[in-house]
Chains A and B, each alone.
Chain A
């Protein structure tokens, strides 16, 4: 149910404000999501930050949520749009349960639904400003996919959004292999998250790792990673060239 304050602003082509259904820019944003398939299912990592421009304003935002019994959704981008997507998915899951036919929405179906929503919004020039990562397991089959705000959608063995595209992907391409154990998977994700912490300005040092297997979804408690600063080169970097950086 929505309520749009009734106003009559006339011509929506010339008058920017009248076109009330256009998202122009994001306000509160989440940064990268990194996810991989592993032996028992899918592992996904995200930090708990909500940035407001350059300010690290919110430090307790959960950007990964369970969807139904078989899926896990992670989102980067505008948090209010992510909250709205969760509402759409709530309705989807509710209606699915109401059939009461013993069947439940799997990750492939949820990913497809999200792809349609994102692409259709893009066509109306009113995108949901998110990049979504959808992981899940149903009937022993693992699934991991991504949808962007313009409706680009695909599946892969490992995915990353935002800065993760540039920093995490190379690590995953090099070090991911099939049938990673839980420990190996977590270590791999943490390696990616640590690099993001060093190099992404909007990353904060408070993260969660979520796991989805045939049994269901578990989201870890928030925790922080140790960082390393004791390189010799870091101690006195400008000794040889005063004024440099």
Chain B
């Protein structure tokens, strides 16, 4: 089997951004693959742009990193000149500028999310091509294919912070179950007027889906726990 270890690093990925009553919750898986090999099983795809604005990265790892690096640099200067925190909209527009003007070369889909004092919590989706779409919730990456139906059914307006985070964790977890390019842990970042909170949900903290079994240390534990005929069919 050809692992193709020379293939460019790509984050198959599942990324999500959800607004709630007071802020936003961003979520992502943690798998970075090089062809069929998992190059990093604990990546952090939710990257800081400013104190109050973060971006979820998907697609080419290199492209998404360089775009977010440039935008962090621009926003840093913008904040100094403006004298106050940058808005989420400005951050999204800077990402758009790079994504649109370099559309022939870049292969990265991004979700910008944050909180500012003018508009509160906002999510902007920036898919391939550089379109900007402000949305109450957004998903991206290869895993998002499995979530359109889920969100159509499960999302509702004016959720609480806890409901929003639970929704994000559930969604990323469901996508990981079906998308080979997504995996690892679920990371979330909650941004509101009070600040930023990072959370980490390893596999054992997530609920089990169809055909998934409770993880064990060893078969031996199962055999020892069972009755007189443990190996009977």
Query: Which A residues have a C-beta under 8 Å from some C-beta of B?
Result: 1-5, 7, 17, 19-24, 26-28, 50, 52, 55, 57-58, 60-61, 78-80, 83-84
Q: Report the nearest B residue to A1, measured CB to CB.
A: B97
| B-side contacts of A60, CB under 8 Å | 133, 135
Q: A26 near B133 (CB under 8 angstroms)?
A: no
Task: Report, nearest first, the 10 A-B pairs whose CB atoms are least far apart.
Answer: A27-B129, A80-B131, A80-B130, A79-B131, A80-B129, A27-B128, A28-B131, A2-B101, A4-B101, A5-B102
Contact B104 A17 (CB under 8 A): yes
Label chain A's interface by main secondary structure: loop
Q: Tell me if A55 and B98 are in contact (CB < 8 A).
A: no
Interface flag for B213 (CB, 8 Å): no
Contact in complex: A80, B103 (CB < 8 Å): yes
Q: Does chain A have a CB within 8 A of B155? A: no
Q: Report if B70 contacts A (CB, 8 A).
A: yes
Q: A52-B127, A57-B127 are in contact. Are A3 and B133 (CB under 8 A)?
A: no
Across the interface, do B131 and A55 meet the contact criterion of CB distance under 8 Å?
no
Q: How far is it, in angstroms, between the C-alpha of A240 and the C-alpha of B70 when the chains are bound?
A: 65
Q: For the complex formed, measure the closest distance between the CB of B73 and the CB atoms of chain A, giving whole angstroms.
A: 11
Q: Does the CB pair A7–B105 fall under 8 Å? A: yes
Taken together as a complex, chains A and B put the C-alpha atoms of A126 and B139 apart, in Å, by 30
A1, A3, A78: which contacts B129 (Cβ < 8 A)?
Answer: A78
Instruction: Point out the residues of chain A lying under 8 angstroms from B128, CB to CB.
Output: 27-28
Some 14 contacts from A to B, beta carbons below 8 A apart, are A3-B98, A3-B101, A4-B101, A5-B66, A19-B104, A23-B103, A24-B104, A27-B128, A28-B129, A58-B125, A58-B133, A58-B135, A61-B133, A83-B131
How far apart sit A79 and B103, CA to CA, in the bound complex (Å)? 13
- Interface assignment of B145: CB less than 8 Å from any CB of chain A: yes
Q: Are B132's CB and A5's CB within 8 A?
A: no
Q: How far in angstroms is the closest Cβ of chain B from A31?
A: 15
How far in angstroms is the closest Cβ of chain A from B206?
Answer: 26
**Complex contacts, A52 vs chain B, CB 8 Å:** 127
Tell me if B132 and A83 are in contact (CB < 8 A): yes
Contact of A50 among B104, B105, B133 (CB under 8 A): B133
* Whole-angstrom distance between the Cβ of B19 and the nearest chain A Cβ: 14
A84 touches B127 (CB 8 A): no
CB distance from A59 to the nearest CB of B (A): 10
| Chain A residues whose CB sits within 8 angstroms of the CB of B70 once the complex forms | 3, 5
A80 contact from B66, B100, B104, B135, Cβ within 8 A: B100
